[in-house]
Amino acid sequence: MPLLIKNGRIITATDDYCADIYCEGESISRIEAGIDASSLPSGTEVIDAVGKYVFPGFIDPHVHIHLPFMGSNAIDDHESASKAALVGGTTTLIEMICPGPNDEPLAAFNEWNDLASPASAVDYTFHMAVVRFDDLAQDQLKQIVADYGIASFKIFLAYKGALNLDDSDLFDLLTMAKDLGVITTAHCENADAIDAMQTKLISEGKTGPEWHEPSRPVCVEAEGVHHLSTFAELTGAHIYAVHTSCAPAVKAAVAAQLRGVNIWVEAVAPHLILDETYAQQADFVGAKYVMSPPLREKSNQDVLWNGLKSGAISTIGTDHAPFNFVGQKDMGTEAFTKIPNGIPSVQERVDLIHTFGVLAGKIDLNTMVSTCSTKAAQIFGLYPRKGSISVGADADLVIYDPNCKHTLSVDSSYSKIDYNAYEGWELTGRSSVVTVRGQVQARDGEFVGTVGRGQLLKRKPTHF
């Protein structure tokens, strides 16, 4: 049915004004002051957004849902993850397809898409991880881009012997990506350095989760950003550093930007909000907070927030990767190297950024929309269909109550995970109504929509 949102304060990446929004079918058809509801077709749903913000649907550019890791799989499925995303205001997910080194890329794409298609309640697309680069893989990667609109790759400069590419393949992949107009997203560390550090620490009996961060310190991440940037400079490829966690890595990326490298930078909610002390908690509780790159010393957070404010950092994702504390994280009780990595945040991201970013004065509302929605849409070929409130855009809208106080808990999470990394935290601000292509999918922290409504978003390569 048609939808009219009245009396809202519309906030985009660049604008802040009051108007009404009328949606027909799946898109926005009118944005005007004082649209008369009586002039609209019968059956039009009218939502009064007085005292509330109206944002474009938020986009999480970095999630893991179907994720194999160390013999286990992330606990969410596409239904639970997309419901969690929706009640948190996220209407589009970009998931990492992470095949093993012996898997064929096309088979992996089909596996991930076949799981998402019937179950996702949000629109979705993928980054295609490249963990092999033989002739067959190259042909299939080109097919995935051409036939399914997967216009971004993912590479790992970590996980030696499992996911990392050698430098020869890295050069050739970036050359191919440039030719195809595909942007390459990258986990920037150094696989050999991490492997050596982990072997050393384990041999010294330093096996607890508190040793995860020292095994991959900030210098390793910064070196990874510099290494990737060098190859992008040589090939002209466009690159995107995911989950950038620390000042040295940000400085390496900015240095590359200043010398003309086409590099974009992503921060993720856990690094902005949590610090290394969470992973240092006793009795193995710290395992809940093991992710890679790790949580860092708190002073790094100011650099990340300032990077978002200045535009040096473009996006805020989550790196959502849900593994249960009991039965999965505890596989690493004898060695931190066996702890599945991930701090789930797909439901909490937007409210965390509103509370600890906007209300704390670190960023403004326009920057929140830019970094949590619009920039991801622009970088990954979804704009202006997504990340925009404009006539013709998809009617993905978030009516947001900036004064709603609520407490985070595993009990109110739609994720299947058995803990909440932010348990008991009181936040200010929550999505009141969330629509996907004109249909209400969530209200006041509850999913009220249709499972399987999400569509695969085919994107055109633009990074030539």
247-258 and 218-235 are packed helices; what angle lies between their axes, rounded to 10 degrees?
20
| Alpha-carbon dihedral 308, 268, 202, 334, rounded to 10 degrees | 150
Summarize the confidence of residues 324-335 as an average pLDDT.
Answer: 96
Question: Where is pLDDT greater, at 249 or 157?
Answer: 249
pLDDT > 70? residue 149: yes
Summarize the confidence of residues 44-63 as an average pLDDT.
Answer: 98
Residue 159's pLDDT band, with cuts at 50, 70 and 90, is: confident
Reported residue count of the chain is 464
Q: Is omega for the bond preceding 41 within 30 degrees of 0, making it cis?
A: no
Residue 293's pLDDT band, with cuts at 50, 70 and 90, is: very high
Q: What is the pLDDT of residue 194?
A: 92
* CATH code linked to domain 56-379: 3.20.20.140
pLDDT > 90? residue 302: yes
Summarize the confidence of residues 277-283 as an average pLDDT.
Answer: 97
Distance CA 361, CA 353 (A): 11
User: Mind giving me the DSSP string for 257-299?
Assistant: HHTT--EEEEEEHHHHH--HHHHT-TTTGGGGG--SSPP--TH
CA quadruple 148, 153, 154, 155: dihedral sign:
positive
Residue 163's pLDDT band, with cuts at 50, 70 and 90, is: low
Summarize the confidence of residues 144-173 as an average pLDDT.
Answer: 89
Summarize the confidence of residues 403-423 as an average pLDDT.
Answer: 98
pLDDT in tens, 4-29: 999 999 999 999 999 999 999 999 99
pLDDT > 80? residue 42: yes
pLDDT > 70? residue 381: yes
Distance CA 263, CA 257 (A): 6
Q: What is the pLDDT of residue 9?
A: 98
Q: What is the pLDDT of residue 160?
A: 65
Residues 6+ away with beta carbon under 8 Å from 447? 83, 86, 87, 121, 414, 441
Q: What is the pLDDT of residue 248?
A: 98
Instruction: Give yes or no for a contact between 354 and 371, defined as CB atoms under 8 angstroms apart.
Output: no
Question: What number of CA atoms fall less than 13 Å from residue 72's CA on the CB side?
Answer: 21
Residue 27: how many CB atoms within 10 A of its CB? 16
pLDDT > 90? residue 428: yes
pLDDT > 90? residue 267: yes
Tokens at 418, concatenated: 């058995």
Instruction: Give yes or no for a contact between 410 and 418, defined as CB atoms under 8 angstroms apart.
Output: yes
Q: What is the pLDDT of residue 54?
A: 98
Q: What is the pLDDT of residue 70?
A: 73
Mean pLDDT for all residues in the chain = 96
Phi-psi region of 120 (alpha: psi -120 to 50; beta: other; left: phi over 0): beta
Question: What number of CA atoms fall less than 13 Å from residue 123's CA on the CB side?
Answer: 24
Residue 191: how many CB atoms within 10 A of its CB? 21
Residues 6+ away with beta carbon under 8 Å from 411? none
Percent of the chain with pLDDT over 90: 95
Residue 135 burial (10 A CB sphere; 0-12, 13-18, 19+): exposed
Distance CA 397, CA 376 (A): 16
Question: Where is pLDDT greater, at 400 or 161?
Answer: 400
Distance CA 136, CA 62 (A): 27
pLDDT in tens, 188-242: 999 889 999 999 999 999 999 999 999 999 999 999 999 999 999 999 999 999 9
Residue 9: how many CB atoms within 10 A of its CB? 18
Amino acid at 135: D
- Alpha-helical (H) ranges within 122-236 are 135-148, 167-180, 191-203, 212-215, 218-235
Q: What is the pLDDT of residue 75?
A: 97
Name the residue ranges covered by the structural domains of the chain.
56-379
Phi-psi region of 296 (alpha: psi -120 to 50; beta: other; left: phi over 0): beta
Q: What is the pLDDT of residue 50?
A: 98
Instruction: Give yes or no for a contact between 90 and 121, defined as CB atoms under 8 angstroms apart.
Output: no
Q: Which residue has the tokens 């009990």?
A: 411
pLDDT > 70? residue 433: yes
Q: What is the pLDDT of residue 161?
A: 61
